[in-house]
Each structure stands twice: as C-alpha cells, then as structure tokens.
Structure 1
Amino acid sequence: MEQLLHRLTQQEIFQELRNAERENRTADFSNKLLPEFSFFGKEINTGINLKGSTIQGALHLDECIIKGDVNLEQALIYATLYISKTEVYGEFFANQIRIREVLNMVASTFKKNIYMKESSIKGFLGLNKIQIEGNLDISKSIIKNIVTKTGTIRGDVYLRDAKVGGSVLAGEIISEGLGNFERTSIGKNLDLKNSKFKEVVILSGTIVEGEIEAQDLQCKSLIAHVA
C-alpha cells in the first residue's frame, strides 16, 4: 500500500527552517506534502532537503542566499520552479525532478554543482545568466511542450549568457523545442551526444575551453559560431 505523504502548513515550513538554523542541521522536508510557497530576500543559514516531496503549486526563491545544499531529487512540483538572483553555497541536487509547468533559474549563482539528470519538465528549462563554479548536469532529461490557457509553452532549453566553470553535460536530452546556448562560457567540456531537439540548436558566441561532443545530435539545424 502506497504511503501517504505528511502534509505541512506554511507555518510549519517556516518553523522547521528556524529550528534547523538554531540546531545547525539541514531543514528536512523530505517526502512531505507541501503547499505552494515562496521566499523573497531571505538568507537561509542551512541546507534544505526536499527530496521526494510534493509541492502543490509553485516554488519561488527570489534574491535569496542559501548557505547549504538544496536537495530536490525526485520531487514533484505542480507548477513552476522559479529561482531568480539567488546564491546557493552548497550543491544543488535535482536529479529526477518532475515539474509540471516551467523551470526557470535565471541570474542565480551556484558555488558548487547543479545535478539535474533525468528530470522531466513541461514547458521550458531556463538557465539564462546563471553562474556555476562546478558542473551542470541536465543529461537524459525530457522537456515537453505544455498547453496553457494563454497558448503553448514550448519545451525549449535555454542556457544563454551563462558562465559554467566546469562541464555542461547535456547528452541524451529529449526536447520538443530548441536548445539555445548563445554567449555562454564553459570552462571545460560541452556534451550534447545523442540528444534530440525538435527545433534548432544555437551555439552562437559560445565559448568552450574544452571539447565539444555532439555525436549523433539530432536537431532541425545547428547554428554554431563557437569561440
């Protein structure tokens, strides 16, 4: 019999964060049922564990500082995951995350790595203007179109005007839209092996210090002016 998730209120979420900071431990929301919630301009002096949780709405982090790891592995988010102008000091774990309406992590800074392997996203995967000191792993992810009341949001992958200190691992992706990597600086390698994009892949102005691996990449066309 499937175990029911324990539901937390917003008040309980804030209380657990305060307790975790006071006790110098990671805030534990793993395998919980959570309402939609957001933080603006908040400094969180601990890690956040949301592994296996279900968020019944959107999760917004805007202009925050998180001084620990963020774990969203195997989480289900009913709406949007939006992280803007936020600093994450620890690792960002989101392997096998499921997002029903857009992932957008714009202009945020990650001091270590982003692990987002085998994720499932409806709507676009947006990583524009992010800075990562380590690696970005979005390999084996599936990004699908979504039809909303206002129209179709295409399953695009955006990594424009970004800076990645390590490698970008984007092999074996299935995208119903385009892949846009314009003007991004990558300190090591770019892996696009065996990925399938329904539309174009754009590498104009992309700087890759290491190797570009694109064997068996499928797309409508490849637009590349790589430095």
Structure 2
Amino acid sequence: MGCCKCEEYKWRHPQEPIATDSHGNAYCLFHAPAHLKEGRHEELVNAVRAYIQNSATSQIPISRFIINHQLTGIVFSDTVNLEKLQLSALDISHATFHGDVTFEHSKFSRVTSFENCEFHGRTNFDYATFESNVTFKKSLFNGRTTFYSTEFSAMLSMEESRINDATSIMFSTITGFADFTQLHIDSTITFGMVSFLENLNISKSSIHGTLTLFKCNICEKESSIFYASHISTSKDSNFYITHSTINGMLNFSECEINGILDMSSTIITQRAYFEDSNIGFAKFKNCVIKDLTTFDRVDLRRASFSGAPIENFRMIACRWPTSSGRRLTYDARKLENCGYLKIDNTEALAFPPQKKPDKALPPQHLEDLYRRIKKTAREGMDETLTSDFHYAEKEMQRLRGFQQFRDDWACRHSPDAALPIKERLRGLGLYLTLLCYKLTSGYGEAPGQAALWLLFLTFGAPLIGLLIPPAWCPASLAIPLHIYGANLGDKWLHFLPLVKLPDADAAGWLARFLMLLSQVAITLQAALFGFALRNRFRR
C-alpha cells in the first residue's frame, strides 16, 4: 500500500510509506503528520532537495501549466531552509509549515503555486524572484511573513487568504495583475514602496486589523484600475493609503468602513468613484486629485475634509452630519470642549478610539473649508448643499470675529504679540454684524424668520413708538399718548419707506430721527426678506 496523500494529490513519483496513523492511513516522509516523523526533519529537508534535483527533468501537466517540481501536501514539522534554490514550475500547494521557512534569494522561473498552504512560523521570501505567475490562494499566514525586495514578473494572487500575523511586502515590484480579493486580515499587512504596474484588486476583503499602502505606485499603466469595492472593516481597524500615487482609475464602491480610512498625501491622477459606501472616519488631508472624484450616496458623517482638495470633489445624495437640521462637516463637531457646533445625527455611530483628544480647527480654517465646499456645490448645481454650507461658513466667520475680539491666540499674527485694539474692535464689529444678519434672516437662508422681523418693523415698531413713547420724551415732540384724536394713520405712514418725512418743526427732531431709522430698517429688512425668499425658491 502506498502513501495515501501521494495518491490523493496524484504524485507522479509516489513515495514509500514510513508511518501509519490510528486509522490505518499510510504516509510517506513528505506527507506524514508532524507527530509521526519526529526526529526526521533533517532527513525530510534533504529528501526535498534531492527530490527537486531528481524531478528537474520531469514535467507533470496540471491544468494548462507544466509542473516540474511537485511537492503538493508536504508537511514540515520544524524550521526549513530553502533559500537560493533555482526552481522552475513548483506546485507546493496544500503544504503545511509548522516552523519557520525561508525562500530567500530563491528563483522561481515558471508557474508557482502555494495554494491552500499553512504557514505557522516566520515566512521569508526576501529577495526572491518569481518570473511567472505565483498564487497563495486560500493560504493561511499564522506567522510573520516578509517579501522584501521581491520581484514578481507576472501575476501575484493572495485571493481568499487569511493574515493572522504581521505581513509586509516592501520595496517590491508586481508587474502583472495583483489579486488580493476576499483577503481576510486579522493582523497587519503592509505594502511599502511597492510598484503595481497593472490592476490592483482588494475587493471583498475583510479588515479586522490594518491594511497599509505606503509610498506605493499603484496602477502605473494609465489604463489600469484600482478595485477597492465591497470592503468591510471593523471598528478598530485601519485602512491607510498614504503618500502613494494612484495612476489608474479608483473604484471604491459599496464598502462598509467602520474604522479609519486615511488617504492623506496621496496623489490620484484619474477619476475616483466612491459609491454607496460608508467610508467611516475618513481623512483626505494633503491629498492631490487631478481629476474629478465623485461621492455618490456615501455616508460622510465621520469624514474630515480638513486639507482636502474639495474643488475636485462632487457630492451626490451623500449623508452629512447635521447641526440644527443644517449640513456641515465632522470637523466642526462639539466634543470634549473642542469644536464649535453640536452634531445631531452621529450619536449611534461607532468611532475608533483616539490616542489623544481631538483638537478643534480654528474658525478661519473651517470658514475657508466651508467656502470652498459651497463653491463646489454651486458649480455642481446643488443649491441645497450650497445653502447649508453658506450658513456654516457665516457661523465660522462670526465665531472668528468673536475670537478676534477676545484676542484669542489662534487669531494672533504671533503667539507672543497681542492684537491691537483696532483689530479687536474690528472683530467685535464683524461679530455683531453677522449676529444681526443671523437673527434677522438666518444669513439670508430663512425667509420665514426674515418675514416675521419685517412684519414687526412695519407694524409693531411704529405702534410702540407712537403709543408708548419714552418717559423722557418732551411733549413738544407731538408723539400722541393715545389713539383717540392722534391722527394715527397719518403718523404711522411716516414710519414706512418712500413716505416723506414731516418737517422737524412739526414733529420734532427725535420723532423725525425715529421715522428715518424705521424707514431704513424696514427697507433693509425687506431686502433681506427678498434675498432669503429668492434663495429658498432657487434652492
């Protein structure tokens, strides 16, 4: 009876059994479980090297490839050194490495398969060269794995693999298609200074640890695509694409990012699409986008747009954080005495833990951010978003004026130099002006509020002035104290715009001044009402 695994994997050169398990299954030295070949590890390693040498001239057809070295299902019970090997086509799928393994400086000249392998120790592919396709599909990485300066001249696949310990691919080049679909990450996987020449696909991956793309050149061929759709992450996970360049189109759709998505200092040269996704606690600081980036039906309630290239963003039917029913960005939140506005619709969201408390951005920074978002929304014909961010911009401008009046450090030209009195008074003037603008018309966005003030100024203020004059007004001002015999209609009309004021001798200088003030106030309020009404109908 031969080795059961040789028969299962259809080895062209079946090996003699050396042990039998309790179920009567016979195993050769290559396939015997670790506990059945204790003390024979060195013999196994030497046998592997000899097997590779002897099978170098044999060719075994598997699918559409030709396999020279077949080590399918092999079990290594301890550390194994397979460095500096010259291998043609290798099939080492379904292998189990219980100890450390190194393929450092090895050369794989044809198709290589590590499919369904288990790596339980440290795995080293540093300086290895894969001249044809290589696959790690459905493999398990339980130990630290490194690909340092590894050359992939064709396709690399880690589809459906599981990362349970730190894995890094550094200073490497992947010439062909890079397939990392359905990758399950429970630890960290880092791509550092890696060049992806063709398509990169990380779609349908599940991230419960950290996925990092740092200083990578992604999709160097302009016709390539970076697929990042249907990705899901946990609350404590991190997804970093930082200081990298994406030369192809970015497709980021139907993702559920519950942790951090950081795309800081990344350059995107072609169009990017974020569609029907929750992108979590997102950052786009110092990101450079050279084409249009579309956010379509994306949950942006935890996204920070500080330092983001807003001019290249287009938001369509996105979900924003709100304050008093108006949309704004997460940057203005009120959190532990930081920020300025209380956000209404983020209580149920899970936020990633912060190593240090968030620091609020200065109002002038948010004012500039909201002004740019307003400009982008107007260019995209989204008038309702324009309205909300016009309101948010004016709120930040008003707060800036108040901070300037208080001589806040954020408004100083130098941290050690106090603001001159003139600038502080200018800040007070800005604050009071915008406060009046807010109260009388909601910054030109609340026609109902403006209409109430217009009615009050038109009917209420003149009646108060006519019927209840101040006690210090002299009788010579001819302001009647009661309605009977006072010719109220004639007096009331003088408080309305476009009505000629009475002579000062007949009415007195104070009454004339009050009438003039009422006419100016009603005119301004009518203009604000018309402006707010026009904005409401237009938006």
- When the two structures are superposed, what TM-score results if normalisation uses the length of structure 2? 0.35
User: What is the letter of the counterpart of residue 64 of structure 1?
Assistant: L
Aligned length: 210
1 CA distance for matches of 2:293 and 2:284?
10
Q: Is contact 1:190–1:208 with CA below 8 Å preserved after alignment? A: no
Q: C-alpha offsets along residues 139-162 of structure 1, whole Å, 9 cap, x if unaligned?
A: 222122xxxxxxxxxx01222211
Matching of residue 177 in structure 1 with residue 300 in structure 2: no
Corresponding letter in the other structure for 2:196: I
TM alignment of 1:65-80, pairs within 5 A: 65-80=184-199
Deviation of residue 79 (structure 1)? 0.8
**One of 262, 273, 297 as aligned partner of 1:158:** 273
Matched residue type, 2:307: K
Q: Distance in 2 between matches of 1:6 and 1:120?
A: 29
Return closer, same or farther for 1:66/1:204 CA change in 2, 3 Å cut-off: same
* Greater share of residues in strand: 1
| 2:262 counterpart of 1:137 | yes
The corresponding residue for 1:109 is: 232
| 1:172–1:196 contact (8 Å) kept in structure 2 | no
Q: How many Å separate the matches in 1 of 2:265 and 2:381?
A: 22
What percent identity do the matched residue pairs reach? 17
Q: CA deviation at 1:187?
A: 4.1
CA deviations over 1:178-202 (Å, ceiling 9, x no partner): 11112111342331535276xx522
Distance 2:217 2:202 in 1: 16
**Structure-2 separation of matches of 1:23 and 1:38:** 14
Q: CA RMSD in A?
A: 3.3
Q: Structure 1 residues 16, 129: closer, same or farther in 2, change over 3 A?
A: same
2:171 and 2:117 map into 1 onto residues whose CA distance is: 17
**1:82 paired residue number:** 201
Deviation of 1:163 after TM superposition, in Å, equals 1.0
1:62 alignment partner in structure 2 = 181
Instruction: Deviation per CA, 1:83-103: give whole Å up to 9, x if none.
Output: 121212211111211111332
Q: 1:23 to 1:160 in 2, by over 3 A?
A: closer
Q: Give the SS at the match of 1:159.
A: strand
Partner in structure 1 of residue 320 of structure 2: 208
1:151 corresponds in structure 2 to none
Cα 1:81–1:19 shift into 2, 3 Å? same
Q: Secondary structure at the match of 1:190?
A: coil
What displacement does 1:33 show? 1.4
Contact 2:141 2:165 in 1 (8 A): no
Tell me, yes or no, if the aligned pair for 2:298 and 2:319 is still in contact at 8 Å: yes
Aligned AA for 2:287? Answer: I
Q: CA deviation at 1:7?
A: 6.7
The corresponding residue for 2:151 is 33
Q: Which residue of 2 aligns with 1:147?
A: none
Q: 1:96 to 1:103 in 2, by over 3 A?
A: same
Q: What is the CA–CA distance in structure 2 between the aligned matches of 1:205 and 1:23, rounded to whole Å?
A: 41
Residue 119 of structure 2: which of 18, 21, 31 is its match?
Answer: 18
Q: Is the 8 A contact 1:8 1:33 kept in 2?
A: no
Question: Which amino acid is the alignment partner of residue 59 of structure 1?
Answer: A
In structure 1, what is the Cα distance between the partners aligned to 2:173 and 2:195? 5
Q: Could you tell me how far apart the structure 1 residues matched to 2:238 and 2:176 are?
A: 26
Partner of 1:93: 212
| Larger Cα-atom Rg | 2
Return the alpha-carbon distance in structure 1 between the equivalents of residues 317 and 106 of structure 2.
47
Q: Which residue of 1 aligns with 2:245?
A: 120
| Cα distance between partner residues in 1 of 2:162 and 2:142 | 15
Once the two structures are TM-superposed, the CA of residue 20 in structure 1 deviates from its matched residue by: 4.2
* Aligned residue identity for 1:182: D
Task: Tell me how far apart the structure 1 counterparts of residues 121 and 302 of structure 2 sit (CA, whole Å).
Answer: 36
For residues 264 and 118 of structure 2, the distance between their equivalents in structure 1, rounded to whole angstroms, comes to 31
Structure 1-normalised TM-score? 0.75
Take 1:134 and 1:156, find their aligned partners in 2: how far apart are those partners?
24
Distance 1:38 1:23, change over 3 A: closer
Unaligned segments of structure 2, at least 5 residues: 1-103, 123-139, 322-329, 333-365, 389-539
Distance in 2 between residues matched to 1:193 and 1:122, nearest whole Å:
21
Which structure is higher in helix share?
2
Q: Which has the higher contact order (CA 8 A, sep 6+)?
A: 1
**Are the counterparts in 2 of residues 201 and 222 from structure 1 also a CA contact under 8 Å?**
no
2:304 to 187, 190, 213: 190
Contact 1:136 1:169 survives alignment (8 Å) = yes
- Answer whether contact 1:49 1:70 (CA < 8 A) is retained: yes
**What per-residue deviation string (whole Å, max 9, x for no partner) do you get for residues 19-45 of structure 1?**
548884222113321242123344444
State the SS of the aligned residue for 1:72: strand
Q: Distance in 1 between matches of 2:185 and 2:381?
A: 37
CA contact (8 A) 2:280 2:302 kept: yes
CA pair 41-192 structure 1, distance change in 2 beyond 3 A: same
Query: Contact (CA 8 Å) 1:160, 1:183: kept in 2 or not?
Result: yes
